[in-house]
Amino acid sequence: MIRCITFDLDDTLWDVRPALLRAEQAQNTWLNDHYPQALKDTSDSEILALKKAVLEDEPSLRHNISLFRQRFIQRLLTNAGVDPSEARQASEDAFAAFIARRNDVELFPFSDSVLGQLGKSYRLGALTNGNADVFKTPIGRHFEFALQAEQVGAAKPAPALFDRAREVTNLAHHEMLHVGDSHDHDVVGALGAGIDCIWLAGDGATSDIATGIISCLSELPEVLTTLQSRVSPAS
């Protein structure tokens, strides 16, 4: 029997783009207010090259996007002539402006109602490669726990997030189910960790490995009812 359902966050429970745009705007407003030369003198192509250089120097930051953003801002400022120690503190302050708006999410239509319904029968958790804090969103009350890739040192599809979720809940593989929008990260990752996965995909999408496919969260309760009613060959 499924006892716990974990959810991806970005583009599964909400559209991530508006939140990221607001967060980026808050970050850049802070930079323009305090160090206007940093962005003014840097082209978009130079920003992309700078981000690539940061990742080349510290590949582990791929799994710690919060620290990656701070390192990028720090290098952006030092390239603009800011003293390294000052740039380090400024990068933390600019990131604080970013993260303060990161959780201003626009929920998909059925996220709140479906989570409220499922929360009556299942333990709910969040597993994300991003840095959103679900407990600071309107749906945080539905969740028992939330785990980020940067907390475990590896991003989906690596099994670390799924393994940590089992440790937190003290449940077996077959007692857990994951729901996410990314086939490469969520479906492949969950199944690789021995956990079934429902893929939230567009109409007409197909998968040879997903446990089930839905095009809208509103379909999830019915799919779960079907899964829970399955009779194992040994019963």
Residue 93, by phi and psi: left (phi above 0), alpha (psi -120 to 50) or beta? alpha
Catalytic residue among 8, 10, 181, 186: 8
Backbone angles phi, psi at 29, to 5 degrees: -65, -45
What mean pLDDT do residues 187-211 have? 95
- Residue pLDDT, tens place only, 24-35: 999 999 999 999
The answer on 217 and 194 residing in a single domain is yes
> How many CB atoms sit inside 10 A of residue 103's CB?
19
Residue 194 placed within a domain: yes
Q: Does residue 233 have a cis bond before it (omega within 30 degrees)?
A: no
Stated as kind and residue range, the H or E segment containing 177 is: strand 176-180
The answer on 133 and 88 residing in a single domain is no
What mean pLDDT do residues 189-213 have? 95
Residue 234 placed within a domain: no
Q: Is the pLDDT of residue 9 over 70?
A: yes
Strand partners, 198: 179, 212
Number of domains in the chain: 2
Backbone angles phi, psi at 180, to 5 degrees: -160, 165
The answer on 155 and 93 residing in a single domain is no
pLDDT of residue 233: 41
Q: What is the CATH number of the domain that holds 210?
A: 3.40.50.1000
Percent of the chain scoring above 70 in pLDDT: 98
pLDDT of residue 193: 98
Residue 208 placed within a domain: yes
The answer on 11 and 72 residing in a single domain is no
Q: Is the pLDDT of residue 234 over 60?
A: no
> In 3D, which of 121, 137, 106 has the Cα closest to residue 221?
121
Work out the pLDDT band at 203, boundaries 50, 70, 90: confident
Last residue of a domain, one of 80, 102, 124: 102
Q: What is the CATH number of the domain that holds 73?
A: 1.20.120.1600
- Residue pLDDT, tens place only, 74-92: 999 999 999 999 999 999 9
pLDDT of residue 202: 81
Taking CA atoms, 179 is separated from 11, 20, 136, 190, in Å, by 11, 22, 20, 9
Q: Is the pLDDT of residue 149 over 50?
A: yes
Model pTM?
Answer: 0.91
* Catalytic residue check, 163: no
Assign 137 to helix, strand or coil.
coil
pLDDT of residue 40: 87
Q: Is the pLDDT of residue 189 over 80?
A: yes
The answer on 132 and 98 residing in a single domain is no
The answer on 184 and 112 residing in a single domain is yes
> How many CB atoms sit inside 10 A of residue 2's CB?
16
What mean pLDDT do residues 155-183 have? 97
Residue 235 placed within a domain: no
pLDDT of residue 235: 35
Cα angle 156, 170, 227; round to 5: 70
> How many CB atoms sit inside 10 A of residue 101's CB?
17
Q: Is the pLDDT of residue 158 over 70?
A: yes
Residue 77 placed within a domain: yes
The answer on 120 and 219 residing in a single domain is yes
Residue 57 placed within a domain: yes
> In 3D, which of 215, 207, 211, 234 has the Cα closest to residue 224?
211
The answer on 78 and 177 residing in a single domain is no
pLDDT of residue 192: 97
What mean pLDDT do residues 176-183 have? 98
The answer on 24 and 10 residing in a single domain is no
The answer on 113 and 69 residing in a single domain is no
Q: Using CA atoms, how far apart are residues 219 and 57, in angstroms rounded to an integer?
A: 44
Last residue of a domain, one of 102, 119, 140: 102
Q: Which domain holds residue 77?
A: 17-102
Mean per-residue pLDDT over the chain, rounded: 94
What mean pLDDT do residues 106-122 have? 97
Strand partners, 87: none
The answer on 211 and 130 residing in a single domain is yes
What mean pLDDT do residues 112-127 have? 98
Last residue of a domain, one of 62, 82, 102: 102
Residue 185 placed within a domain: yes
The answer on 139 and 199 residing in a single domain is yes
